[in-house]
């Protein structure tokens, strides 16, 4: 018996061009036997129909023959069919209210839901992710945005020669442009009005590493959070060096008990016993790259109240926020929404609390594209598929009629199963309280 796997067309966003499984891996899986692939036709997917057909897949307009469907982003409520298995970024594990109707519909249809974000090893480390590409694209976009924003303010810099990530034919082409900007900065320096130019990165995982990789193409020097605080007092700093600072959890929050030392595991378990200390660094940053995981139980990194205080005191060094994490009204409170690739930035005015799309206006520019890896669709799809392909055959061939405890499927995938036969699995029963609300 051959198992039919469906690859869905992405329709949540106009510019979403990624795919979970690339043609080369589909070809490999077909050659191994036991699997057939049907791929929903798409006018925009980065891999063309011919590439899938040459790999042995069939292009279709209807995925109903498939018992297992792979996608990237959320799927419409009307799409789900009784008893089938769906694998995608569902964005429900935090109880996101906007996706609870989708989750309810899946439960009513008795489907199985596997969430990429929760495919982890025994230590809880994610195994399948686009994160690094979010960081890569986010940093490219933020440097481009800085150049256009400064030009709008009457300052010309080499950054204005950059382009938004998705306009490049490849990641390497974008990197080459940034290298050229770096050479120009090294040779000619930057305007005194923006020096020292500083970039802060919250977090040190895959997303942050991607962002740092791009920043590292510029003439730069890493400084500690403590050293960052002293840069403004130094008169010997060259104008052709960019200063980078990586902030870890203890740089963002400290215990409410002044006599207690920061303990990372205690912080994760009891975030209510900690308060924000990151704001001391904000007046010293030109660009803030927000690259770390956040949930509402943790202290915010940057509040609107603080930004208003900052601007009322005349401190406007912070020009760009690259909110790669992109949690609306989350760790960066002024990120009131995720933006789209075709309209990627807004200017937030701390004094009025209002945001204006585009590069003009008083305040701080916020780049908050929430599908950043799709700005590098081919490279990000290849990397994602490289991680996913090892699990595809097991997912397709599993017997989903047995009790969940007896389900024979790789551990990382079983840990990622949010719904089984339409019911929340033990690790995700907590989501039921969000469904009720």
- 1 band by pLDDT with thresholds 50, 70 and 90: low
**Residue ranges with strand state E in 25-110:** 35-40, 58-60, 68-70, 85-88
pLDDT at 314: 87
Residue 126 DSSP class: B
Average pLDDT over residues 142-155: 96
Strand, coil or helix: 342: coil
pLDDT at 131: 85
Which two tokens mark 401?
């009629």
pLDDT at 294: 86
- pLDDT for residue 106 is more than 70: yes
For 221, phi then psi, to 5°, come to -145, 135
Give the residue, 33 or 21, on which the prediction is more confident.
Answer: 21
Residue with tokens 């690859």: 7
- pLDDT for residue 2 is more than 90: no
**Average pLDDT value for the chain:** 95
- pLDDT for residue 437 is more than 80: no
Q: Would you call 201 exposed, middle or buried from its count of C-beta atoms within 10 A (0-12, 13-18, 19+)?
A: buried
Average pLDDT over residues 125-140: 93
- pLDDT for residue 95 is more than 80: yes
Domain ranges of the chain: 3-129+379-436, 131-375
Q: What is the pLDDT of residues 157-174, one digit of tens each?
A: 999 999 999 999 999 999
What is the rounded distance in angstroms from the CA atom of residue 138 to the CA atom of residue 370? 10
Could you confirm whether domain 131-375 is CATH 3.40.50.720?
yes
- 316 band by pLDDT with thresholds 50, 70 and 90: confident
Question: Which stretches within 120-237 are classed as H helix?
Answer: 131-152, 171-188, 206-215, 225-228
Question: Hey, what CATH topology would domain 3-129+379-436 get?
Answer: Rossmann fold (3.40.50)
pLDDT at 296: 84
Q: How would DSSP label each residue in 253-319?
A: EEESSTTSPP-HHHHHH-GGGEEE-GGGTGGG-SEEEE-S---TTSPPSB-HHHHHHHHHTT-----
- 349 band by pLDDT with thresholds 50, 70 and 90: very high
Q: What is the pLDDT of residues 257-305, one digit of tens each?
A: 999 999 999 999 999 999 999 999 999 999 999 999 888 888 899 999 9
pLDDT at 120: 95
* Helices and strands (H and E) in the chain: how many: 13, 18
Please provide the size of the chain in residues.
437
Give the residue, 402 or 294, on which the prediction is more confident.
Answer: 402
Between the alpha carbon of residue 169 and those of residues 76, 112, 182, 217, 378, the distances in Å are 30, 37, 20, 19, 9
Q: What is the pLDDT of residues 26-58, one digit of tens each?
A: 999 999 999 999 999 999 999 999 999 999 999
* Winning range, highest mean pLDDT, from 1-15, 174-188, 289-303: 174-188
Q: Is the dihedral of CA 251, 130, 244, 159 positive or negative?
A: negative
For 63, phi then psi, to 5°, come to -95, 10
What is the rounded distance in angstroms from the CA atom of residue 116 to the CA atom of residue 388? 9
């Amino acid at each position: 018996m051959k198992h039919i796997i469906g690859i869905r067309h992405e329709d949540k966003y106009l510019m979403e061009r990624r795919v979970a499984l690339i043609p080369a891996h589909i070809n490999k899986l077909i050659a191994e036997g036991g699997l057939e692939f049907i791929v929903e036709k798409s006018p925009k997917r980065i891999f063309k129909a011919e590439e899938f057909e040459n790999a042995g897949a069939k292009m279709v307009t209807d995925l109903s023959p498939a018992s297992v469907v792979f996608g990237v982003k959320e799927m419409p409520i009307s799409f789900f069919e009784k008893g089938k298995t769906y694998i995608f970024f569902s964005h429900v594990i935090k109880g996101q209210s906007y996706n609870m109707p989708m989750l309810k519909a899946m439960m009513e249809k008795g489907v199985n839901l596997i969430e990429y974000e929760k495919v982890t090893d025994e230590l809880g480390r994610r195994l399948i992710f686009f994160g690094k590409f979010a960081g890569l694209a986010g940093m490219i976009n933020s440097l481009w945005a800085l150049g256009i924003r400064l030009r709008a303010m009457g300052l010309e810099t080499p950054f204005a020669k950059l382009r938004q990530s998705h306009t490049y034919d490849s990641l390497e082409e974008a990197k080459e442009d940034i290298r050229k900007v770096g050479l120009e900065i090294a040779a000619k320096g930057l305007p005194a009005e923006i020096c020292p130019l500083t970039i802060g990165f919250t977090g040190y995982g895959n997303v942050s590493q991607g962002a740092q990789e791009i920043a590292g193409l510029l003439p730069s020097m890493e400084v500690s959070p403590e050293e960052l605080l002293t840069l403004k007092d130094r008169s010997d700093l060259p104008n052709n060096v960019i200063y980078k600072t990586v902030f870890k959890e203890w740089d963002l929050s400290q215990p409410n008990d002044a006599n207690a030392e920061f303990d990372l595991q205690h912080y994760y378990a009891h975030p209510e016993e900690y308060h924000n200390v990151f704001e001391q660094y904000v007046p010293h940053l030109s660009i803030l790259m927000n690259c770390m995981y956040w949930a509402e139980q943790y202290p915010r990194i940057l509040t609107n109240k603080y930004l208003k205080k900052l601007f009322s005191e005349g401190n406007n060094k912070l020009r760009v926020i690259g909110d790669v994490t992109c949690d609306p009204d989350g760790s960066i409170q002024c990120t009131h929404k995720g933006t789209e690739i075709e309209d990627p930035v807004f200017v937030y005015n701390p004094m009025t609390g209002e945001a204006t799309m585009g590069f003009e206006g008083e305040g701080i520019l916020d780049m908050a594209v929430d599908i950043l890896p799709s700005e590098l669709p081919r490279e990000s799809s290849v990397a994602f598929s490289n991680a996913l392909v090892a699990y595809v055959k097991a997912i397709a061939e599993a017997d989903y009629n047995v009790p969940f405890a007896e389900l024979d499927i790789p551990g990382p995938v079983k840990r990622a199963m949010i719904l089984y036969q339409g019911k929340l699995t033990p690790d995700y029963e907590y989501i039921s309280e969000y469904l009720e609300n």
